[in-house]
Amino acid sequence: MKPFDKLSERQRNILRFIDRYIVDNGFPPTIRDIGEATKIASTSVVNYNLNKLVQAGFLERSAATSRGLRLIKPIPNSRRKVKGIIEMPRVHLIGHIVASAPVSIPEDIGHYTDEENMIEVPSSILGAVDAAEVFALSVRGDSMIDAMIQDGDIVFLRKVDEVKNGDMVAVWLPERGETTLKYFFDEGAHVRLQPAHPTMDPIYVSAANCQVQGKVLGVVRQMR
C-alpha cells in the first residue's frame, strides 16, 4: 500500500485541499481555511491532523507564519510541483475607518517595526506593487456593502498622490471630522464620494476638504 493510501480519509482530504488551494491562490491556506473546506469544526482537530501529516512525511510546518505549510511529497493527481514555504509580505495595520476619528497615515509607511500591528497581504492583492507602499485598515460600517466590503473586513490600500474617477479610496474629511471609504468622483466644483449601499446618499465636499489617504487594492474577509 502506498504511503498516501495509509492515511485516514480526513488526512487525505486535507492534503488534497492544501494542494488545490496553493494552485488556485499561490500561497498555502490557514488552519481555519482547512477546517471550513474539510468540514472540521475544531481548529485543534485540524492542527492534530496537520501534525500527523508532518510525522508521516507529507508536510513541513513553519511557526514563523500562519500559512507556513510545505508539501514535501507528491500526492495523487496533483496539479502543482512541490514548492517551499511561501513567506507572505506583511504590511502595517494602521487602524480603523470610522466616523469621527481621523486615521493618521505616516509619510513613510514602509519603515514600521511594530510587529503586533503587522498583517500578511496576499500576493494576489499586491500584484506588482511594492509592499512598502501599502497599508491596511479595518472597516467599520456597511456603506460599501454592495462592493462586497462589510463591517470587520480588512482593506489593503496603496498610498498615492492622485486617483481617478471611480477609484475606491479612503479619505479624511477635515470639516466633517470623518474618515470614510467611498468611490471617488471629481465633479469640478466639488468631489462626490459615492457609497455602495442602496439606502445611502453620496457625500459632496469641496476638493480642499477631501484628503485622499489611499487607493484600495483589495479586501480580505474576516471570519466571524
Helices (H), 107-184: 123-126
Average pLDDT over residues 19-26: 81
Please confirm, yes or no, whether 143 is among the known catalytic residues. Answer: yes
Q: How many CB atoms lie within 10 A of CB 38?
A: 18
Residues 61, 94 within the same domain: no
Establish if 176 belongs to a structural domain: yes
Do 207 and 130 share a structural domain?
A: yes
Q: Judge whether 175 lies within some domain.
A: yes
**Residue that terminates a domain, selected from 71, 102, 124:** 71
Total domains present in the chain:
2
User: Of 143, 164, 206, 215, which residue is the catalytic one?
Assistant: 143
Domain extent, residue 48, equals: 3-71
The answer on 117 and 67 residing in a single domain is no
- 107 — pLDDT class (breaks 50, 70, 90): low
Active site residue 182: yes
Give pLDDT, residue 63.
61
Active-site residue, from 6, 78, 100, 182:
182
When computed from its CA atoms, the radius of gyration of the chain, rounded to whole angstroms, is 21
**109 shares its domain with 161:** yes
Question: Looking at the structure, do residues 102 and 199 belong to the same domain, yes or no?
Answer: yes
- 9 has a pLDDT exceeding 90: yes
Q: What is the pLDDT of residues 193-222, one digit of tens each?
A: 999 988 889 999 998 888 898 999 988 875
82 occurs within a structural domain: no
pLDDT of residue 87: 58
Instruction: Tell me what the pLDDT averaged over the chain comes to.
Output: 81
Q: How far is CA 3 from CA 7, 62, 74, 76, 83, in A?
A: 7, 23, 11, 11, 20
pLDDT of residue 180 exceeding 50: yes
CATH for 145: 2.10.109.10
CATH of the domain at 16: 1.10.10.10
163 has pLDDT over 70 = yes
Better-predicted residue by pLDDT, 160 or 86: 160
What's the rounded Cα separation, in Å, for the pair 98 and 76? 49
Rounded to whole angstroms, the Cα distance separating 17 from 4 reads 14
- For 117-127, the pLDDT digits (tens) are 778 787 778 88
| DSSP strand pairing (90-97 vs 134-139) | parallel
Average pLDDT over residues 127-144: 85
